[in-house]
Structure 1
Amino acid sequence: MTQRVELATVMDRLAVDGLVTDYAVAVDDGDWEAYRELFTPDGRADYRSAGGIEGEARSVAAWLAESLRAFPVRQHLIVNRRVRFGVLERDAGDTALVQADYVSPMGFAAAGGDSAASGLVCGGRYSFGLLRTEDGWRLREVIVREKWRRLPEGAGAAVIS
């Protein structure tokens, strides 16, 4: 591999990592316009394994905005990122697949609009399908595979596989 190719690969990895981080920040901050802008025009998201919906990113953003209203405190972490380039549609480098684990603690809204200390915590794995566009890397698809969920003490626990 030439030095130029190695540099381009490192730059792509940094850009892809930045896009995944921007996704987490948009969801945690409830910035649904920023969320929508992370996707290609035909981008889709699938949250069905976490009890959500699957569909076009704009529709899913509206669903997220409504369903996450009960959790004003969100700070999910996306870790163990595995990046593979050129894996979608047998492309030579303008597509990427990222698989990454997540842990997502969310605080419930308390009476008076304050956020409660306790809440829901869940974890699982994301699959991000990315496409290089004229505007940089964008999400073509996001698939959430929730593996576990812990409810507040006294509410029981659920395990999803």
Structure 2
Amino acid sequence: MKRPAFGISRWKEMKGFTIIEVLMAMGIMAVGLLAVGAMQISAVRNNRTGNTYTQATALAQSQMELIKDGDIDDSDDILNPDTYPTTTADSDNPLDENGLAGGIYTRSWTIDTYLEDTDGDGVGDTQSNYGRTVTVTVTFPFVGRGTRSVTLSSVTTGDGL
């Protein structure tokens, strides 16, 4: 009976992985999984931030539409305050995403007279009786970084225009 040879040539013929190769593969896979996990955390944070900005913009837009729908000829209307410029804070502040009291958003608006360019130099110089400049600002806390705001500005002649 012949004795099996276990020389170097025999080890080269053996199939499989050594423990070092398995540990290296696991280490590389662990680094990859950690990167994917960090990416998921970042994606969730960015989605939440985008959602917050979208809700703030919707709140500003809804107030802008309400103001622009006013009657500029009615002396009691929101478009005709006693003094210009006038800034008003929403009486329901802080607001939730639906504009109801009890959320994180603070909404305010400023109504000012519109200055027309009557001499053609590109700068408004004459107060218009038929136009108002409306600016709506919604502020909200930003996690770990103070507050952020969304501001919309428009010129209106009332009646939704």
Q: Under a length normalisation based on structure 1, what TM-score does the superposition of the two structures give?
A: 0.32
Which one has the bigger strand percentage? Answer: 1
Q: Under a length normalisation based on structure 2, what TM-score does the superposition of the two structures give?
A: 0.32
- Structure with bigger gyration radius: 2
